[in-house]
Chain A
């Protein structure tokens, strides 16, 4: 996945492309079955022993459970080189993991957004850092 070379996530441990696919980095509790995103943000079922939490990647694809179009620029510390406003925000449901995750919608005509449509995880280039790396965030796009 050469096109992912020289890219770096603005904050680590959220989005992974080492397998050749862009996937969200989650953690699963093998005691209560809950998936977490971000993976450090534990939300165990009450009474859970909290044993056996392991890092996992969420599925590549999910379904659009909700969305909005934001018409005003997101204030700092959010930062992009290109103007992205208005931008879509999706809440994408990963069915097997029983979790919905928010993300900016990219590469998608916002007029075509529909609840239930299939979305896949990707990245959005935000800006170039001092090391000339492309700083990215996770995002979703229509399949």
Chain B
């Protein structure tokens, strides 16, 4: 297997809803990535596209749609969907294609224009799609799932409402320094604690909304392109994981979960991260900067445990002791996290990879983690999807 490097990244900053089509956002991100890599479109030998599920035919074949904008060249174009971990799937395919020698240079991208309001059921067949049941009879918007787990955590480990609010305080501070972030206002602990409950114990500022955004990453094994790049970032591992039988987490869209744990919580992310550690030979103790999926403040805490950065029940202490701040032992989400961006389904995992690459390339200005050499991007998507990417410079 060949070594694979990131040589170019591009982002369309995260925003609210838009009348523009998703391909316009994608084009901005891809233009940015080509410029950053200092290469022409014709150098791209494969496109691994995250699909945009609300985009109809164009969205489901987003790679072809994008290729037609930049100019069709006959290269392999594969479209992939793994819910909110779609971006992880696209970069993993790009990596594998290059590492195996099939192609030298590939583009991974995702672009998403979220519909207004909640994301609800996409079919009307309750037998094959339990999402129909949860919306028609369950009364279960996504944050309820997080709140149910959060209350369990509070009872088991003593997580407090102040801990949950502190996550938002940190994320808003970092998000305010990130030009790509959608939300740039900073919040004090008091302000977060005064925000309304959405589903207690989670408050409005402690959950992330849906957003619009696009991200593109160009990866290569071409030595010439690597040497010409502005600090190429090595991908040490990019993996995907699925859930493990007996995972006690109440998973989004599910109506039940096992009462007896036989696997770790969020086992899809345990699986992805363990694979990445094994494949790269890099462990949690080696990571200088971490991007994790803080869909809610609960996620921020539990992900530190799921991915092995501390033992179960110890994440709150890491947070309280300032270990997860920029300048702490393990800076977490210097980007401002999902809390400052919101979810743009097919793009968000790539955006996390790009933040990590930017940190390693020393491009993050006020939110820069000084001397970062090893970074990890961790995401997850509903129904047992997760991806981990470990990068070094």
Contacts and interface: CB of A to CB of B under 8 A. Distances in A.
B135 A71 contact: no
Contacts of B198: 70-72
A31 B46 CA distance: 45
B197 A69 contact: yes
Interface stretch (B57-65, B175-183, B251-259): B251-259
B138 A102 contact: yes
A118 B198 CA distance: 25
B148 A102 contact: yes
Contacts of B137: 9-11, 14, 78, 126, 137-138
B150 to A, nearest CB: 8
A100 B139 contact: no
Q: How large is the interface on B (under 10, 10 to 19, 20 to 34, 35 or more residues)?
A: 35 or more
B194 to A, nearest CB: 14
A138 B149 CA distance: 21
A87 interface: yes
Contacts of B202: 68
Interface string A76-94: 1111000010010101011
A89 B200 CA distance: 10
A40 interface: yes
* A40, A41, A75, most chain B CB atoms within 10 A: A41
Given A68-B151, A70-B144, A102-B250, A93 B259 contact: yes
B155 interface: yes
A134 interface: no
Contacts of A79: 136
Contacts of B196: 71
A36 B137 CA distance: 17
A67 B151 contact: yes
B199 A89 contact: yes
A91 B255 CA distance: 9
Given A66-B152, A71-B199, A72-B198, A99 B257 contact: yes
A102 B155 CA distance: 18
A68 B200 contact: yes
Interface in B199-237: 199-202
* A44, A87, A89, A138, most chain B CB atoms within 10 A: A89
8 contacts: A38-B130, A40-B127, A46-B245, A65-B259, A71-B200, A77-B121, A77-B135, A89-B199
Given A11-B133, A99-B259, 16 more contacts: A9-B137, A10-B137, A11-B126, A43-B245, A66-B152, A66-B250, A68-B147, A68-B148, A70-B144, A77-B121, A77-B136, A89-B139, A101-B255, A102-B254, A126-B137, A138-B137
